[in-house]
Amino acid sequence: MIFFGGGGNPDDFLHEGIEMIHRNQPKIAISLFKKALKIDPKHVETLYNLGLAQNQLKKYQDAITSFDKLLEINPNDAAALNNRAIAMAESGDIDGAFECYDKAISVDSKYAPAYYNKGVLHDKILEHDEAIKWLDESIKIEPRKINPRFYKGIVLGKIGKHEEALNCFENICNSNPNHQDSQFHKGIELTELGKHEKAIKIFDKVLEKYGNNINVLYAKARSKAGLNQINEALELLRISVKNSKEIKEWAKREKLFEVIYDDKRFQQIVK
């Protein structure tokens, strides 16, 4: 590893730390950021990136401390407020997180990530209508961003608005054909709408690209059961549950598998 400079300039350590984050080495990044802060304790860009790295390592209280130090210098840093709110939410301080997101929005009404993350938090506490409201605000600001549109589709699916969810995923697929998560969820929503043959075609395309992904195999098994193609459904289910206790539990509660609940082969698979 080649480090910048001789240690007298905090920017040298900052740049190397950011490079370590890009290499998915946040522990090394944190040590470099701390070296920068020994030289300049109020180096705001370093404090911000230190907080990001600490969040990445789930050291949320440390991250909050880093963002607080930055906010003492610049109370109106929307990005710091947003990421502080993420750390607070992960630490279980939901009310504090919402307050922090609101502060980020108040200091910069065009800072889309705060709207997005506030929507995600509402979804996590099962306030789905509120989630959609804030996701829509994020989409208004950055209409081309995939994440808020994708997450909105997920939330719509959760509350049974499958046509609207399908529309979200189709729009993403039309502009970003290689966005495989949207392709997959497009298939999921088609299944929920009873359009199993179309769903299977999508799952097959995803499987061609990514191999035997157990989540896709399970989704295909659901549609096969919906078409009453029992043998194929059971075989796909057998493969998908082999290394996943979670999928096995899903199968036990899946309404599309009601047609095979009493089949001894199904019982053997999910026991």
| pLDDT digit string, tens, across residues 226-255 | 999 999 999 999 999 988 999 999 999 999
d(CA 240, CA 223): 14
**Distance (Å, rounded) from C-alpha 255 to C-alpha 246?**
16
Average pLDDT (163-171) is: 98
Are residues 169 and 182 in contact, defined by beta-carbon separation less than 8 angstroms?
yes
pLDDT band at 104 (very low <50, low <70, confident <90, very high): very high
Amino acid at 110: K
Q: What is the pLDDT at residue 210?
A: 83
Q: What percent of the chain has pLDDT over 70?
A: 97
Domain ranges of the chain: 1-74, 162-211, 213-271
For the segment 39-53, what is each residue's pLDDT rounded down to a tens digit? 999 999 999 999 999
Helix (H) / strand (E) element for 247: namely: helix 245-253
CA distance to 73, 106, 144, per residue, from 42 (Å): 7, 24, 35
- Report yes or no: 162 and 192 within 8 Å, Cβ to Cβ: yes
Give the chain's end-to-end CA distance (angstroms, integer): 51
At residue 194, what is the residue type? G
At 105-136, the pLDDT tens digits run 999 999 999 999 999 999 999 999 999 999 99
Amino acid letter, 190: L
Average pLDDT in the 131-146 region?
A: 97
pLDDT for 3 beyond 80: no
Q: Using pLDDT thresholds of 50, 70 and 90, give the confidence band for residue 7.
A: low
Given this model, what pLDDT does residue 243 score?
Answer: 82
For domain 1-74, give its CATH number from 1.10.287.1080, 1.25.40.10, 1.10.10.60, 3.30.110.60.
1.25.40.10
Q: What is the band of 211 on the pLDDT scale with cuts at 50, 70, 90?
A: confident
77-96 in b/e form (b: 16+ CB < 10 A) is: bbbbbbbbbbbbbeeebeeb
Tokens of 103: 């502060």
51-95 pLDDT, tens digit each: 999 999 999 999 999 999 999 999 999 999 999 999 999 999 999
What DSSP character marks residue 258? G
How far is 202 from 183, CA to CA, in rounded Å? Answer: 7
Q: What is the mean pLDDT of residues 10-18?
A: 94
Residue 6 has pLDDT above 60, yes or no: no
pTM of the model: 0.90
